[in-house]
Amino acid sequence: DIQVTQSPSTLSASVGDRVTITCRASQSLTNRLAWYQQKPGKAPKLLIYKASILESGVPSRFSGSGSGTEFTLTITNLQPDDFATYFCQQYNALWTFGQGTKVEIK
């Protein structure tokens, strides 16, 4: 099974900050990695797929990069609506999620 390690587990930031979340896979995913945002009591929402492609309707302050085993999600100019939990997901071999990163207000 492919393991996905996401860090950090919690991140404190302020409005306007630039934040970066990392996912590392136990084997190469090529670019088969997605990022989701989840708010309390809600379903996850797709942000990015194929490591770097923004889902339609997602603000351009979100970006993804990486390939192989190391990937990052970057949020520039953090907005109040962005305080949430973020998950990565590999879909190269079955499906595995990272443990999640909670972005909280500093």
Binding flag, residue 32, other proteins (CB under 8 A)? yes
| 27, 50, 61, 77: which one binds other proteins (CB under 8 A) | 50
| 34, 75, 78, 103: which one binds other proteins (CB under 8 A) | 34
- Alpha-carbon distance of 105 to 71, in angstroms, equals 24
List all residues 6 or more positions away from 35 whose beta carbon is below 8 Å from its beta carbon: 46, 47, 48, 62, 64, 73, 86, 87, 88, 89
- Scanning 15-23, 60-68, 75-83, 97-105 for contacts with other proteins by CB under 8 A, the matching segment is 97-105
Footprint on this chain of other proteins (rule: CB under 8 A): 32, 34, 36, 42-46, 49-50, 55, 87, 89, 91, 94-100
